[in-house]
Amino acid sequence: MRPKVVLYNPRCVFWTMPLSLVAIGSALDASRYEVVIVDGRFESDPVRAMLRAIDARTVCVGLTVLTGAPIRDALAVTREVHRVHPALPIVWGGWHPSLFAAECLQEEGVAATVVGQGEDTFRDLVERFAGGLPASGVAGSAHRAGVLKCARIEPKRPMRDLNDLPAHDYRLIDVERYFTAKKRRQLDYISSQGCRFRCAFCADPHVFGRAWSGLEPERMGNELEVLWRRYRFDDLNFQDETYFTHRPRVMAVCDETLRRGLRFSWAATMRADQGVRLERAEWELCKRSGLRRVMVGVESGSQAMLDWLQKDIKLEQVFETAEHMVRHGIAGIFPFIVGFPDETDESVEASLSVMHRLRRMSPDFEVSVYFYQPYPGSPIADALWRRGHRKPESLSDWAEFDYVGSRGPWVKEEKWERVQRFTFYQRHAYGRSRHLAALPLRWAARARMRTGFLRAPIEKLVLEAVRPAARLS
């Protein structure tokens, strides 16, 4: 009877597979530990599901925690598990504990937190708990120590080369259940970790120190072939921060999938400066191997704002990359952020103009628009909090943090409304849908986008009354 480790993925609105839990579960010795993953998104009562999974053999519980609404669910599970099993160690990992390792320990039930890459750190914590030892001395973690039980942050653990870590064991999750939830046979896969760039709004440089590691193409080919023959997925979604970081690696992976006869489409992330460096033959190779869509973070339509954000791209590169995508029949998602502190109206209007230009380039292009919220771990957020902007203090405060559907108090109502209207009408003005019921709205939306008249948004009010928008975080 092997000791058991129970892992929990909090509820959220997206159906991405919980690969962070699969990663740390795969790093445990399967001959010594049984790993059970509970995904709260599938449970009518997540707390009860966790209590059912925990038994006398359980030596540790682990949760992955993202800033925002998932914290609320993580707190509910943590508190009830701790109430019923007060001696059972509970470990939090993921983005929020990586940014607030000590603060998360203020929650009584959290015995330790993991900072950054979790495979080795969590494995070492499990080994200590299984041996009846405290969490002290594990690099890359934080825990309570001393008579006063103050938070102690251990030394950082260097980032490991992903090629030295075990392959993700997808048998730890019910893959078919995720296909059903996604309404398509789409497999999520991580081929690299970290990001070498310095964007001032992003927490990645703080957590990974601008380090990057990617799997070797041959290993990826072997893993993808096994997974494709086992699950017969028809689409692969790379969950990498910057998949196109190393161009030769991307091309070698394309060659591997073609050589092995693996038939699936794929989507990935790309920076605009990476797109312009691809030769025409490389675009063609990506398309031939199944590339259907790339996500290109633009962030702003103002070059001055891009420079302030330290994005290190030029707007010309955005449009040149988009032209390559149009030429090769590749869809695109272009995220933008508006409403930064002190951002001018002219800067916001420049972003709206670039979004409109991109949408008109291809029916397969989409833009996503977010208002800036100070996500922890980024230089802009740190500067904003130094200026006196209220920073969430408790985990309950952070559970209310909405970095998708809200705005900072410095954004005027008029600007908020204009962006919301623009977002609504551009979304309905373009695309490939030919559904008869949608045509009147499309005609009206295109007329509004063409004339720029976005006031009196009757169509928007009617549709949202009939079909309220889902909360995204």
Contacts for 435 with CB less than 8 Å, ≥ 6 apart = none
Write out the two tokens for 29. 């010795």
Indicate if 343 and 203 belong to the same structural domain: yes
C-alpha 113/C-alpha 142 separation (Å) is: 5
Q: Is 179 within a domain?
A: no
CA distance 41 to 54: 18
Q: Which residues contact 470 (CB under 8 A, 6 or more apart)?
A: 13
The widest CA-to-CA distance across the chain, in whole angstroms, is 70
Tell whether 102 and 196 lie within a shared domain. Answer: no
In this structure, the answer to whether residues 231 and 108 fall within a common structural domain is no
The answer to whether residues 93 and 210 belong to one domain is no
What is the C-alpha to C-alpha distance for residues 304 and 274, in angstroms, rounded to an integer? 20
Rounded to whole angstroms, how far apart are CA atoms 224 and 214?
15
The answer to whether residues 138 and 233 belong to one domain is no
Instruction: Give the range of the structural domain holding residue 308, as residue numbers without chain letter.
Output: 184-411
Locate 73 and state its tokens: 């669910």
Residues 190, 300 within the same domain: yes
Beta strands in 69-221 (DSSP E): 90-93, 112-114, 141-145, 150-153, 186-189, 192-194, 212-214
Query: 193 with 274, same domain?
Result: yes
Among 175, 161, 67, which Cα is nearest to 117's? 161
Q: How many domains does the chain have?
A: 2
Question: Which of 376, 411, 446 is at the close of a domain?
Answer: 411
What are the helix (H) ranges across 260-336? Answer: 272-277, 280-288, 303-308, 315-327
My answer on whether 253 and 343 are in the same domain is: yes
Domain termination site, one of 153, 176, 196:
153
Question: Would residue 193 count as lying in a domain?
Answer: yes
Residue ending a domain, among 357, 391, 411, is: 411
Structure tokens at 411: 């954004």
pTM of the predicted model, to two decimals?
0.93
Q: Cα separations (Å) of 40 from 9, 70, 229, 281, 295? A: 6, 10, 28, 44, 28
**Rounded-to-integer distance, Cα 289 and Cα 256, Å:** 9
Give first-to-last CA distance, the chain, whole Å.
40
* DSSP state, residue 292: E
**In this structure, what CATH number is given to the domain that contains residue 35?**
3.40.50.2300
Residue 271 placed within a domain: yes
Residue 214: closest CA among 156, 273, 269, 140? 269
Domain assignment of residue 471, yes or no: no
Residue 219 lies in a domain: yes
In a domain, 238, yes or no: yes
Residue linked to tokens 């979304």: 427
* Cβ 86 vs Cβ 69: under 8 Å: no
The beta-carbon contacts of 321-326 under 8 Å, at least 24 apart in sequence, are 321/270, 321/272, 321/275, 321/276, 321/296, 322/296, 322/358, 322/361, 322/362, 322/365, 323/361, 324/275, 324/276, 324/278, 324/280, 324/283, 325/275, 325/294, 325/362, 325/365, 326/361, 326/362
111 in the same domain as 39? yes
Q: How many of the other CB atoms lie within 10 Å of CB of 115?
A: 21
Residues 143 and 205 grouped into a single domain: no
CATH of the domain at 383: 3.20.20.70
Task: Look at residue 376 and tell me if it is in a domain.
Answer: yes
Provide the residue-wise pLDDT of the chain in tens; the chain has 473 residues.
Answer: 899 999 999 998 889 999 999 999 999 999 999 999 999 999 999 999 999 999 999 999 999 999 999 999 999 999 999 999 999 999 999 999 999 999 999 999 999 999 999 999 999 999 999 999 999 999 999 999 887 788 999 999 999 999 999 999 999 999 999 999 999 999 999 999 999 999 998 989 888 999 999 999 999 999 999 999 999 999 999 999 999 999 999 999 999 999 999 999 999 999 999 999 999 999 999 999 999 999 999 999 999 999 999 999 999 999 999 999 999 999 999 999 999 999 999 999 999 999 999 999 999 999 999 999 888 888 999 999 898 888 888 999 999 887 777 888 899 999 999 999 999 999 999 988 777 778 889 999 999 999 999 999 999 999 888 887 666 55
Instruction: Answer yes or no: do 228 and 344 share one domain.
Output: yes
Alpha carbon 82 to its chain's center: 28
Is there a domain that residue 457 lies in? no
Residue tagged 């023959």 (tokens): 229
Report the C-alpha gap between 20 and 13 in whole angstroms.
17
Residues 17, 144 share a domain? yes
